[in-house]
Every structure is written in structure tokens, then in C-alpha cells.
Chain A
Amino acid sequence: DSGVTQTPKHLITATGQRVTLRCSPRSGDLSVYWYQQSLDQGLQFLIQYYNGEERAKGNILERFSAQQFPDLHSELNLSSLELGDSALYFCASSAADSSGNTIYFGEGSWLTVV
């Protein structure tokens, strides 16, 4: 158990809908990362927050947004969903964002868009 909690574990929704994925980082970790993993794309970095502020942005679509709250939990909002958004979404956390810190991953949220 990495200590990173993601909910829901599985989600099925229709095209055009909006969903919110939630992440609780390890206790005390200030940095949160979101990744997307689909069958044909591998692990893609989406976005990073550090202590409530956006720190880095990757290949995140405009239809997707995220935020980190004062209690450090984070949410990834996916809107106007398309079939291609079906993927496993991982949240990860680390104590800080320096290069020597370890990043711990959650078990992921499976999103299926039908």
C-alpha cells in the first residue's frame, strides 16, 4: 500500500459527460501528480500541483482540469468525455518536488467511456 488513495476505482460513463477523479496523497506530501495510461500511449504525465499551486503541465487536454485543495487532496475533472479518454488515471504524491524525492503512486481509477 503506497498510502495514495484514489476514488473511484472504476467508473463507466457516457460520451459527453463529466467526471471527477479524487486523490488523497500520502500524509504530509505536498506534491501531487496526475498521469493517464491508455493501451496505446503508455504513461503520460498530465499535471503537477505543489502545495495548492500548479507546478508543471504535461499533455493535458483543455477539456481536463485539476486542482489541489488546502487539505492537499486533489481532483482531476474530465469533461465532454470522448471514447478515447477511456484509460487508467493515476495520482501520485511526493513530499516535495526535488529530484531526489520518491514519488508514490496510487492504484488508479479506471475510466471507461461508452
Chain B
Amino acid sequence: DAKTTQPNSMESNEEEPVHLPCNHSTISGTDYIHWYRQLPSQGPEYVIHGLTSNVNNRMASLAIAEDRKSSTLILHRATLRDAAVYYCILRGNQGGKLIFGQGTELSVKP
């Protein structure tokens, strides 16, 4: 599975937008970019995923670079409940499993 690189941690202020970056320079043409988040002592929670085009849902937006070697998860207005570890994962057609890296620990200040 192709590897992703994320910052270990980021800080945000409540009600401000947050841009969480992810690099995946070895992405293949069939890899989907998935984002999950995990709150303490809870199961990972699906956030968003995309292949080539930018995606929006009620939780977040996903901006994918034109060459697909990087992507950015955008939380439009951070809340205290968004404090979590965010994982950027590439998922290919060789099997449905998700391989989690270290993720980005997002802290949100009131």
C-alpha cells in the first residue's frame, strides 16, 4: 500500500477553518484517498474520501491536488468536538483493508 505523510500535530482555534495536509507522492491511479478520525477511546470514524475531484460532505471538504500527490482535509469551522487524530489513508484495489499511519493529532482551543 502506498504511504502517506502527515504532520504529527496541529492546533486550531474554535470556529476557525482548519486545513489538514497529507502527502502521498507514490499514489497510484486507482488509489482512493480516505480520511478517518479517531476520538479518544472510540472507534475510527469515516470523514470523507475521493479519487480525483474535490469532495464535500456535511463533515468536511477534501481538496485533491491536480497531480494527486497531495490532498487537504478542510474543516470549515472547527469545534471542540473536532479534536481528534485524523488519518489520511490510501486505499487501493488490492484489498479493502485500511492501513493506518500515525495521523495528525488536532487540538482545538476555545
Contact = CB atoms under 8 A, between A and B. Distances in A.
Interface string A30-64: 01010100000011110010100001101000000
B28 to A, nearest CB: 10
Contact of B96 (A35, A88, A96, A106): A96
A102 B96 contact: no
B91 interface: yes
B43 A103 contact: no
A20 to B, nearest CB: 19
B65 to A, nearest CB: 19
B42 A107 contact: yes
B100 A103 contact: no
B99 A108 contact: no
A5 to B, nearest CB: 11
Q: Which secondary structure dominates where chain A touches chain B?
A: strand
B contact face: mostly helix, strand, loop, or mixed: loop
Contacts of B95: 48, 55-56, 97
Q: How large is the interface on B (under 10, 10 to 19, 20 to 34, 35 or more residues)?
A: 20 to 34
Contacts of A35: 100
Interface residues of A, number: 31
Contact of A45 (B38, B41, B49, B97): B97
A105 B96 contact: no
A86 to B, nearest CB: 14
A36 to B, nearest CB: 11
Interface of B: 30-32, 38, 41-46, 49, 51, 87, 91-93, 95-102
7 contacts: A43-B87, A50-B96, A88-B41, A97-B96, A99-B31, A102-B46, A108-B42
